[in-house]
Chain A
Amino acid sequence: MNAILMAVIGLAVFALGYRYYSKYIAERIFRLDPDFITPAHKYKDGVDFVPTNKFVLWGHHFTSVAGAAPILGPAIAVYWGWLPAFLWVILGTVFAAGVHDFGTLALSVRNKGQSIGTIAEKFIGRRGKILFLFIILTLVLMINAVFAWVIANLFITYPASVLPVFIQIPLAIWIGYAAYKRNMKMLIPSLIALAVMYATAILTAEVSWLQIDLVSYMGGEGGEGLFGLGAVSTAFMIWIGVLLVYVYIASTLPVWKLLQPRDFINSHQLSVGLIILYAGLLFTNPTINAPATNADADVSWLPLLFITIACGAISGFHGLVSSGTSSKQLNLETDARFVGYFGAVGEGVLALISIIAVVTLFSSAADFSAVYSSFEAANAGGLGNFVEGAAILAGGLGIPAHIATTIVSIIVVSFAATTLDTAVRLMRYIIAEIGSEYKVPALTKKHVATSVAVLSTAALVLIPEGPSGFGSGGYLIWPLFGTSNQLLAGISLLLITIWLKRKGVNYLITLIPMIFLLFMTMYAMFTQVFFQWAWYGDSSNMLLFVLGAIIFVFAIWIIVTAIQALSGKFDDELEKHRD
């Protein structure tokens, strides 16, 4: 099959979904009203509540939700062939992600711009809030572990990317300072920063002594590292240590100093990346040699596909952005369709190019089978395959392969680093919130909460053993990340369903994706926890068993809550909060 045709089909389905399905939801289900006074107008304070042009708000919403996850998930999931991943991304975006992101935005707008956590408390009571807090805590912990591994892995595989990524930090601080203290415009400085980063990337790709290659310093892959560990294992440990020290500092600094200016540079990288990859696709016109379905898969696609691709098909994390910031800045209620639904479509477009980059990498089906030999190999190598595949697409624009791989790995690392920074910050807030909920005042302190966040991340990312030993198994957490993300989406869909049910409109559009998601996650967790990770299972792993079991309990908890909520158990709660 031709890859351009695949992209065209995918984009056409997204366009139809936006044009017709989101219109139907906006007009018939949510019944958006252009005259409704949105929280941005009602509570306008110039800080959180600011009416914003819908295109600008979409741009901000999209750059907040797009990251490394919609790239990594599809790159792993093509293990089952391109067809299942492709179908789940396009149908998931249209029927699940779009509805979820749009729904959380509309729900929040109708509830004073409050976040999903507060709305859960309002609809379900204190139990809803606690459930929500623990699910997000699990989610951010998984995000930290996975992305710390992603960055360490890319630094080891592509040592040329290290220096440009570290150069981004002082550049970002400079932009933050210039913009905040000197009131300078940000566009030019952030473009200069991007140019400096990419110039460094070209330099490091060409000059080998500028590549910080820890493994080769220790005598190559067979070399001896520290504490009797192998060279690769030691390199993982060092990079993860460095990253965790970095996120500790980054997540305790004010947002404008480092996180935000990094986001400016990353917004450019997102645009540059998407343009290069789609343009490269047009110029290279590659053929898909990977099989449509993989008959030799050692694990079944059902249900694992649905937790392997979370972001890009549906992601609970988007609900936090929709209800946390975007809902407070929506100018007209009818803009929710464009910002929410089209935001999800943007993420789908990113996931689609990730699939295309990976499946066009191989010259034959045998080549594909050799690289994607097992699900374990797909998990460990998916990201590397994306980088290689994306570099080939970029080659269509005349960019040499070694420079393209460096730049693509920089883009992925930058996304992952920002996600890590945000997730540690978020984890700190949640730990503080749990501390105040359970009356443990020490946890509400900034440095105590951050230390708990960073140390638990360190434990989680270092303990799993990958093929290269200690510290290299962070990717094993990926299915748990997908599951907790889907459970969060499940809660948000439940809240939207309760809201629609009370409005007396057709709530099947959220109920069906919710049941589908909860069923798939329960199914996946059940088979993985009790048949694979348990002490008597095929690939016994106590850490994954315990974490998986906790998430499984959360899933049951959500289902019980959902049944109770939909049968009217919490109607009193809702009545109490009725305006």
Chain B
Amino acid sequence: MNMLDKMKKLIKYYEEVLEMPHRTEVARELRDQDDMFLLLLYSEMIGIPNPVYYYTLELYPHIIEDFHDWHLRMGMDKSPLTGIRCC
């Protein structure tokens, strides 16, 4: 490995150090948005009227995998929905 490659590697490492906390924050912001979206999707089941219920219903199979993590993040230790028994 010549000097230039070593420099490139060092800069890449340095950039990685800089970007690590930033990536975490962006991911957190995106997750917050997702959580909000999931809340809208599940709203009908927890008693909040959802005017587009029939459309969001179609999304259920796609988001069911994330359901367990979501309800834990929302501060509910057990699944709030009787229809979904994840834990």
- Which A positions have Cβ atoms within 8 angstroms of B? 45-48, 50, 52-53, 55-57, 59-60, 63, 179-180, 185-187, 190, 254-256, 260, 263-264, 267, 329
Contact = CB atoms under 8 A, between A and B. Distances in A.
A187 B17 contact: no
Interface of B: 11, 13-29, 31, 69
B25 A267 contact: no
Given A52-B20, A263-B21, A256 B11 contact: no
A60 B20 CA distance: 8
B22 A63 contact: no
Contacts of A263: 21
13 contacts: A45-B69, A47-B24, A47-B28, A48-B24, A50-B24, A56-B20, A57-B20, A180-B26, A180-B29, A185-B19, A187-B14, A256-B29, A267-B17
Nearest to B13: A55
Contacts of B11: 187
Contact of A60 (B21, B31, B69): B21
A256 B69 contact: no
A46 B25 CA distance: 10
A46 B14 contact: no
A190 B18 contact: yes
B18 A187 contact: yes
A59 B14 contact: yes
Given A45-B31, A47-B24, A180-B22, 6 more contacts: A46-B27, A56-B20, A59-B14, A186-B15, A255-B25, A267-B18
Contacts, number: 59
Contacts of A185: 15, 19
B19 A186 contact: yes
Nearest to A255: B25
A60 B17 contact: yes
Closest 10 CB pairs of A and B: A59-B17, A47-B27, A187-B15, A256-B25, A56-B16, A47-B28, A60-B20, A264-B18, A46-B27, A186-B18
Nearest to A48: B24
Contacts of A267: 17-18
Interface-central residue, B14, B15, B20, by most chain A CB under 10 Å: B20
B67 to A, nearest CB: 14
A52 B24 CA distance: 12
Contacts of B29: 180, 254, 256
Nearest to A328: B24
B55 to A, nearest CB: 28
Contacts of B21: 60, 260, 263
Contacts of B20: 52, 56-57, 60, 329
Nearest to B25: A256
Contacts of B16: 53, 56, 59
A185 B16 CA distance: 10
Contact of B22 (A48, A59, A186): A186
Contacts of B26: 180, 256
A60 B21 CA distance: 8
A50 B20 CA distance: 10
A269 to B, nearest CB: 13
A326 to B, nearest CB: 11
A264 B27 CA distance: 18
B70 to A, nearest CB: 11
A145 B17 CA distance: 30
A493 to B, nearest CB: 27
Given A45-B69, A47-B28, A256 B22 contact: yes
B18 to A, nearest CB: 5
B25 A260 contact: yes
B65 to A, nearest CB: 13
Nearest to A188: B15
Nearest to B31: A47
A195 to B, nearest CB: 16
Nearest to B23: A50
Contacts of A48: 24, 28
Contacts of A255: 25
A438 B18 CA distance: 39
A192 B66 CA distance: 41
Contacts of B17: 56, 59-60, 63, 267
A45 B68 CA distance: 13
A59 B13 CA distance: 9
A63 B20 CA distance: 12
A316 B38 CA distance: 39
Nearest to A263: B21
Nearest to B69: A45
A56 B13 contact: yes
A187 B22 CA distance: 12
Interface-central residue, B14, B19, B22, B27, by most chain A CB under 10 Å: B22
Contacts of A56: 13, 16-17, 20
A186 B15 CA distance: 8
Nearest to B27: A47
A45 B24 CA distance: 10
A324 to B, nearest CB: 12
Nearest to B26: A180
B69 to A, nearest CB: 7
B17 to A, nearest CB: 3
Nearest to A180: B26
Contacts of B19: 185-186
A258 to B, nearest CB: 12
A47 B13 CA distance: 20
Contacts of A179: 22
